[in-house]
Amino acid sequence: MKKSFLVLMLTVIVSAASCSFTTKIDNDPDKDRILIDLISYVLSKGHYDAKDINDDFSKNVFVDYIDALDPLKRYFYESDIEEFREFETLIDDQIRDKEIDFFNLTYERLQHRMTEARSLYKEILEHPFNFEKEESINTDYEKLSYARDKDEMRNRWRLQLKFNALSSYYDKVDEQIDSITKNKEFKRKSAVVLEEESRDITTTSLKEYFEFADDLERKDWFSIYINSIVEEFDPHTYYFAPQDKDRFDIAMSGKLEGIGARLQKKNDNVKIIEIISGGPAWRGNKVEVGDFIMKVKQEDEVEPVSIVGMRLDDAVSLIKGPKGTKVVLTVKKVDGTIENVEIVRDVVELEETYAKSSVVKKNGKNFGIINLPKFYFNMQDYNQRNAAKDVKQEIIRLKQEEMEGLVIDLRDNGGGSLQTVVDIAGLFIDKGPIVQVRTKGESPEVLSDKDRNVLWDGPLVILVNELSASASEILAAAMQDYKRAIIIGSKQTYGKGTVQNVMDLNRWMRSNDFGDLGALKLTTQKFYRVNGGSTQLEGVKSDVVVPDRYSYIDIGEKDQENPLPWDKIPAADYTLWDGYIDFDQTINKSKARMATNDQLKLIEENAKWVREKRDVNEYSLNYSKYKANIELNEKQAERFDRLNDYKTNLTFESLPYEKDLMKKDSILEEKRNRWHKSLSKDVYVEEALSVLEDMKINNIRRSKNPLTLKN
């Protein structure tokens, strides 16, 4: 595996070193040409499943690039697109010939159209909006055609600006009602004044948006062009411009500040794609994956700033801030409702990203639950603290409490270190293969647990959901293939069965007078289960499927653009675990319980309702109808409030060592109390415990294989 990588690296160094560099200007077109050449070469040689750069490839890049430049279709005209279409099947030739004519044309035209838009929005916002007029806006921009003339473009902007202003107007009316309710002497503002204030807010937001756009340099737009090319290979291949690479390094090192959430640009919106365990957003528990952040308000400001259409980096800079300061986010929830969420900025508490465990008491028996947020390790020294060592230690402690079954909670676990997966799996089985890893052009490498010792040979359940990805899927898949654990959760996990490496492009150049070239993250390997199937796209299908909030939302790898396909290789040589005598019967009993569970039925209703609301693209711009729609959504959402009232009869206790720590650390006690309260209302944990009770151990096998602890 390493040999082929070194050959590729040397080949690229030799190839690129023959080029002549003569300038250090960041926006030099010659730098752009060599960057395109270098990246396309690295992709063709290093990507796991390199695509042919041909006319079909060109057509796909064309569509994605134009969409990235103008996702709301409020800059380019139909005539612009027709002119650009000359290059629709020529981008592949441009790449091969190191030409950037297509980029130059689109970049210059976009700058011109954005200048026109600056005048347009100011002119529109000088006049009051009539919120009593019957008209609507459709936000399904993908199906929207490009404007044919200036009148159509002007109306498009007018509807969008009116929609933004209407949102602010609704908030202001709502705030005024609250103020009057609290203070009878409050001076009421007229509808005319409130409308004018709402336009002022919209004007300020657009002014700031274009100021952000003014700060963008040609190289920033060129990065968009490059990524439209590289993302055609798969959704995880990405070019980091120098500044972006610095941010990536900081994120990978664990220095996460602000609200503790990972954000992604989705069309013109900023979407939450991950909540970092231990961070402020996680502690507040008021935002979730799939929410869109629409506005940001600082604690010392009166009005919020709209971040719709704003560059992601600039939106993040508004959301981030010094520890202890407050930020108010206007959030469009996954169910379509709008909420203002106040978050006190802080740094992520690393302790909350580590494994933690609890004793669960049910029917006079002790069980254990271990929550693992990610498969962490020390990048400098694997022998330091890592997920496998911590899980092992927690199991030893739980065994001392005489646990009779164990739940491993991998929900929302996005992955991490592959070696920790192998080590953790080895705690539950005799020696054997855990995962197969395939590198381009090579035979699969089997990663195995080579230690015959088994730390826990009792009943085991693993909890997963749609956000359990990568390393989480490997552990769940291995335990499922061995029939070592019963998997409870979503219909399938995320479905990311690929490995990426970040390659510093500067290290591949013998001499470089162009300055920092950035880095390329590209897919180099693929994971396969021990049974030979890939976890790509299909993920891990739960033995017992239970609905959750994301059941009907497009959130997995299969819902991304250009994912690598699922495939299969020969199975590894492994032996099924024969420690249970009623494995299939236990699964069937669990399915029967889940089918009659009222809480799960309500969760599924909620999931369907969330999907229904997310599919709505038509919005009235009449205030009365806009208000009525919001109130209807809120009323419909109320019937799902009782989801939070659900309680189990389970009792959770911290382990003795944590109880000792709590005597000196009241904050730790507060965190664990909150976790235990959440677990006591968790229908999935409740079912996991019922499954553990049902699982019967083959004591004959157990007596033949006495338990040996690894010290």
Please give the Cα distance from 28 to 154 (Å, whole number): 35
Q: What share of the chain is helix, strand, coil (3-state, %, to 5)?
A: 45, 15, 40
Residue 263 Cα distances to 270, 332, 472, 699, angstroms: 6, 14, 21, 50
Torsion over CA of 394, 395, 399 and 402, rounded to 10 degrees? 80
Beta carbons within 8 Å of 464's beta carbon, 6+ residues apart: 410, 411, 472, 473, 476, 487, 488, 489, 490, 493, 540, 542
Read off the tokens for 702.
């157990």
Beta carbons within 8 Å of 316's beta carbon, 6+ residues apart: 258, 263
Residue 623 Cα distances to 129, 156, 341, 581, 617, angstroms: 11, 19, 24, 64, 17
In DSSP terms, 460 is beta-bridged to: 406
Contact status, residue 460 vs residue 428, Cβ threshold 8 Å: yes
Contact status, residue 391 vs residue 377, Cβ threshold 8 Å: no
Please give the Cα distance from 209 to 110 (Å, whole number): 15
Task: State which amino acid sits at residue 578.
Answer: D
Q: For 574-623, give the DSSP string.
A: ------BS-HHHHHHHHHHHHHT-HHHHHHHHHHHHHHHHHT--EEE-SH
CA 359 from centroid of its chain's CA atoms: 31
Residue 35 Cα distances to 149, 223, 241, 337, 527, angstroms: 37, 10, 11, 44, 30
Whole-angstrom distance between the N-terminal and C-terminal Cα of the chain? 32
CA angle, residues 165, 134, 621, in degrees to nearest 5: 25
Residues annotated as part of the active site: 470, 481, 496
Nearest to 32 by CA among 85, 142, 107: 107
Please give the Cα distance from 610 to 336 (Å, whole number): 7
In DSSP terms, 463 is beta-bridged to: 409, 488
Nearest to 408 by CA among 449, 356, 471: 356
Please give the Cα distance from 553 to 561 (Å, whole number): 15
